[in-house]
Copies of this chain bind each other. A is one copy, B any other.
Amino acid sequence: MFSIGELSKRTGVKIPTIRYYEHIGLMDAPERSEGNQRRYTKQGLKCLSFIRHSRELGFSLDDIKGLLELNQQPGSPCKNAHLIAIRHLTEVRVRLTKLRRLERELKRISACRADSIESCAVIETLADHSLCETDH
């Protein structure tokens, strides 16, 4: 049996965040001590680790809810899990592409060597889209 503080230490998830996950129904409410404090079992630890790890991989809480449910139906096909993962992968790739373009643009405008605002490439570029190298 772990207290919420122990669970927090073991998973690296902050205490208010754990309570928040319970509040929104992502984690089951655990048993309580006589004095009304949360007492978690290994099950709770596993669940929270799963959530934490999924968050690190950037899954939304909604996606995680879906994955947790799939996980709790033994024998179910894992096609849905794949759908969620692949959709997420697609999103990540879109973001990657955007960020790469962004990096190029920022690198370019940061390289300006003017010393007053009137001729600063940073400001000029932000004010006028047509000075950009690429669309966005």
Count the A residues whose beta carbon is within 8 Å of the partner chain — how many?
53
Given contacts A78-B115, A117-B78, contact A54 B126 (CB under 8 A): yes
For chain A, residues 50 to 104, give those with C-beta under 8 angstroms from any C-beta of chain B.
Answer: 50, 53-54, 56-58, 67, 70-71, 73-79, 81-82, 84-86, 88-89, 92-93, 95-96, 99-100, 102-103
Point out the residue from B54, B77, B126 that lies within 8 Å of A53, measured CB to CB.
B126
Residue of B nearest to A99 (CB): B96
> Are A78 and B126 neighbours in the complex by a CB distance under 8 Å?
no
- Expressed in whole angstroms, the Cα–Cα distance for A136 and B88 within the complex equals 17
Contact pattern, A 28-67, Cβ under 8 Å of B = 1, otherwise 0: 0000000000000000001001100110111000000001
Chain A residues packing against B (C-beta within 8 Å):
46, 49-50, 53-54, 56-58, 67, 70-71, 73-79, 81-82, 84-86, 88-89, 92-93, 95-96, 99-100, 102-103, 105-107, 109-110, 112, 114-118, 120, 122-123, 125-129, 136
